[in-house]
Amino acid sequence: MLDSINVDDYDALAIPGCFEEYGFYEEAYDEKLLELIRGFNRCGKYIASICVGALPIGASGVLTGRRGTTYHFRNGHRQDQLAEFGVNVQRDERIVIDENVMTSFCPETAPDVAFQLLRWMVGDDNTEVIKYAMGY
The CATH number for 84's domain is 3.40.50.880
Distance between CA atoms of residues 11 and 117, nearest Å: 10
Residue 126 is assigned to a structural domain of this protein:
no
Residue 123 is assigned to a structural domain of this protein:
no
Q: At 10, is the pLDDT very low, low, confident or very high (cuts 50, 70, 90)?
A: very high
Residue 119 makes CB contacts below 8 A (sequence gap 6+) with: 127
Burial (Cβ within 10 Å: 0-12, 13-18, ≥19) of residue 55:
buried
Residue 136 is assigned to a structural domain of this protein:
no
Residue 56: CB atoms within 10 A of its CB come to 22
Residue 135 is assigned to a structural domain of this protein:
no
Structural domain range at position 51: 2-109
> In this model, does residue 23 exceed pLDDT 90?
no
Residues 64-69, mean pLDDT to the nearest whole number: 99
The pLDDT, as a whole number, for residue 116 is 98
Residue 118 is assigned to a structural domain of this protein:
no
Residue 69 is assigned to a structural domain of this protein:
yes
Query: Which backbone phi and psi does 10 adopt, to 5 degrees?
Result: -130, 150
The pLDDT, as a whole number, for residue 2 is 86
Residue 115 is assigned to a structural domain of this protein:
no
- What total of structural domains would you count in the chain? 1
Residue 134 is assigned to a structural domain of this protein:
no
> In this model, does residue 61 exceed pLDDT 90?
yes
Answer whether 0.85 is exceeded by the pTM: yes
